[in-house]
Amino acid sequence: MSKNVIGVGLLGMGTVGRGVYRILTENRSGIEQKVGVPVEIKKILVRDTAKNRGVQLEEGVLTADVDEVINNPDIDIVVEVMGGIKPALPYALKALKNGKSLVTANKDMIAEHGKELFEAAEANNSDLLFEASVAGGIPIIRPLKECLAANRIQQVIGIINGTTNYMLTRMSKEGLDFQTALAEAQALGYAEADPSSDVEGYDAARKLAILASIAFNTRVSLSQVYVEGITRITAEDISYAADLNYVVKLLGIAKESEAGVEVHVHPAMLPKTHPLAPVDDVYNAVFVSGDAVGDVMFFGRGAGELPTASAVVADIMSAARSKLKHVPGLYNCTCFDEKPVKSMGLTSTKYYIRLNVDDRPGVLASIAFVLGNNDVSLASVIQKHTTGQAAEIVLVTHRVLEQNLQDALKIIKELSTVNEIANVIRVEE
């Protein structure tokens, strides 16, 4: 029996939920033409039904009772835009078990409980769609699952956190220090009062776990992602990077080789000629390399009410078409392989190392000796600043094994002529 309308229930009415409501109502006619029938919001779960939501809502659409959404026979698609794990996860699982399709923007839930959600979707012949969970309005989940499905993906490198990208842009363009850039981001609403998820790299790590799982067809858990934030990046490091013809970005990097998959989030120096280098402010971008397609890049706004809602509504429309064509469960889990995830010590790249040392003969030679004994070779050395009896030197290595570098740094740190290893930043070519 064909349906005359597709009913939608929203779990949450915050920033993204409001955007979803706006798009579905303001673009109602075009969406109906593209889907084939009207797509209507039947119920919206909120904590306080009396609160002003900033949009004109139909009377009776708000409810504080979740059962009016996930047990409602008039609702075909449940849209979870609450965020977090609880109570979003139990609500999402119950909706799937009731045969509803689920659309979510919840990166935490997908990164940590994706397997459980996909199993529930498949068991109940339902769709699970989550385009908005990574990079807001930028299409990347579906391109990896569908448009690039014929490729063996070799690497995915992304600027996937707008807050840190804004901060690093301000530090690069205006010479701001970390704390000043953070305060500015908070004042503009880009950073939360507790910014740790962004500046420590955890937000990007969740997104990278999702991207890597799809790109390499193997489940990558959040605990397998090496994470390092931007809190140690200074104006000095950014200045040195510019002198070396690099920019500093917080990158999510996922690569596959015969030895396995590597997934890591950390600051990195990128050549100014790299396609990701000019991606500034709150913009996100994801750079993908495939064996057939070559290099492609996806760029746009990675957050915000309407960009994120754009991705959510596109997923709603896809789920609606599946319901109409009687082919639910079309978008199944693609993690059909079990590939090893390499430890960070087994990865290799170039490194920038900034040291404060005694300004006297033989210091550089002793450092170079330790590096050489650990199979770390130097590509360049810079000494710019000398203060009294101390000097600051910057070393850039050739591509080396992470474990070899860490072993060398442990020894260098104990040298009597080395006062401080001020920073170590990876260099991504």
Active-site residue set:
207
Rg value, the chain, Cα: 24
Q: Tell me if residue 90 falls in helix, strand or coil.
A: helix
Element (H, E) at 11: strand 6-11
Taken in order 194, 195, 196, 198, the sign of the CA dihedral is positive
Pairwise CA distance, residues 14 & 11, whole Å: 10
Q: Tell me if residue 175 falls in helix, strand or coil.
A: coil
Write out the DSSP string of 221-281. -GGGSEE--STT--HHHHHHHHHTTEEEEEEEEEEEETTEEEEEEEEEEEETTSTTTT--T
- The residue with tokens 């009776």 is 60
Nearest to 295 by CA among 313, 278, 319, 275: 275
Whether omega for the bond prior to residue 307 falls within 30 degrees of 0, making it cis, is no
Q: Tell me if residue 58 falls in helix, strand or coil.
A: coil
- Residues 212 and 156: beta-carbon distance below 8 Å: yes
Strand arrangement, sheet containing 39-45: 62-63, 39-45, 6-11, 77-80, 101-104, 128-129
Q: Tell me if residue 78 falls in helix, strand or coil.
A: strand
User: Any idea what DSSP says for residue 99?
Assistant: T
Nearest to 261 by CA among 325, 319, 208, 324: 208
Write out the DSSP string of 367-428. HHHHHHHTT--EEEEEEEEEETTEEEEEEEE-SEEHHHHHHHHHHHHT-TTEEEEEEEEEE-
User: Any idea what DSSP says for residue 146?
Assistant: I
Q: Please name the residue ranges forming H helices in 74-201.
A: 88-97, 107-123, 141-142, 162-174, 178-187, 196-199
Q: Tell me if residue 102 falls in helix, strand or coil.
A: strand
